[in-house]
Amino acid sequence: MELLGERDTRVLKTVVIQYIATGEPVGSRTVAKVSGLNLSPASIRNLMMDLEDRGYLRQPHTSAGRLPTALGFRYYVDHVLPVVELGQRMQTQIKNALALPAAEPQELFRQASRVLSALSGHPGLVLAPRPQGMRLKHVQFISLGGDGVLTVLVAQDHQVQTRFVRAAARYTQAQLDRFSQFLNELCQNLTLGETRRQILSRMEEDKNLFDKIVAQALSLSRQALQNEEEEELYIEGTSQILDYPEFAADVEKIRTLFKAFEEKHHLITLLDQTLASQGVQIIISPDEHFPEMQLSVVASSYSGDRTPVGSLGVIGPMRMDYGRVIPIVRYTASMVTDLLKKWHS
């Protein structure tokens, strides 16, 4: 992206700030008054027209002022917006909200999505760690009678998952206990994905297993772990969408957004983009997922024991107050990381 000159930057900054505050097109007279450039409205108008030609501003209709485009917001976020720390009062609010006793990490993710929404004024999103990335601490098979078997997966960070399978044969609880013991010895401290690969590899190597119990344990384990990868997205504050004037009057936009909140896969895909990155990421107007919706996502990954395991953030209008939202997301991600590390220790 080209670097703008000082005057162009000041004009763009003023238009962005005014538009964030009012939601209305910004005219040259307003920019002349508040930009501090000491130029006439006519000179400002020429600068705004030039920025429009270069794709940073747009004019919604003739005789109206200008609005920032996605490119204009991108430039503002990358080159103009100062990095600020979250104020002590908000830090305390986030700490207090996340310090509530949580019996399991899932409750922490719910709390994080609530506090993100409450403090940002936008829907809060938390993508939980993927089940296939869970690092196993213990596996237990439990007979449900007949051929029904409940698989209980306990992760190192105390997450618990249960899966129901129908076994190829009927097993007693004593047999299932032996299967559990075998699997725990084979797959201790591996992720679910690594465990499944280990089992498949072992089955391939030992096609002629003389130990029937091992063969049965591997077969049942493969069934229990072959489920499609589930992804859990916590969303709080969806009704705040109705507070945005640009959406409130557009029934079709509201319908599209609430469908996305319900189906979740588009939001998961967006949050996925932040998993491999350091720090807060700003995704502006992701049209491939929400055509012409003029939305932005501000998100950050959070870590478990060593590496990023999930993402959290907020979704809102492209004109959201990034300077206020970014520190909230950054600090919440750091708090979730710290609390997950305590679970690991």
What is the CATH number for 76?
1.10.10.10
| Range name among 57-61, 64-68, 248-252, 276-280 with the lowest pLDDT average | 248-252
User: Is the pLDDT confidence value at 325 over 80?
Assistant: yes
pLDDT for residue 209:
55
User: Is the pLDDT confidence value at 305 over 70?
Assistant: no
- 279 and 303 Cβ atoms separated by less than 8 Å: no
Range of the domain at 147: 132-225
154 and 205, same domain (yes or no): yes
121 and 236, same domain (yes or no): yes
pLDDT for residue 250:
77
236 and 335, same domain (yes or no): yes
The average pLDDT across 323-339 equals 94
DSSP per residue, 201-218: HHHHHTTT-S-HHHHHHH
- 312 and 300 Cβ atoms separated by less than 8 Å: yes
pTM here is 0.74
Q: Which two tokens stand for residue 100?
A: 């509530």
Confidence of residue 308 (pLDDT cuts 50, 70, 90): confident
The average pLDDT across 316-323 equals 92
303 and 292, same domain (yes or no): yes
| Range name among 9-13, 27-31, 161-165, 326-330 with the lowest pLDDT average | 161-165
245 and 331, same domain (yes or no): yes
pLDDT for residue 131:
63
242 and 340, same domain (yes or no): yes
DSSP per residue, 142-167: EE-STTEEEEEEEETTS-EEEEEEE-
317 and 243, same domain (yes or no): yes
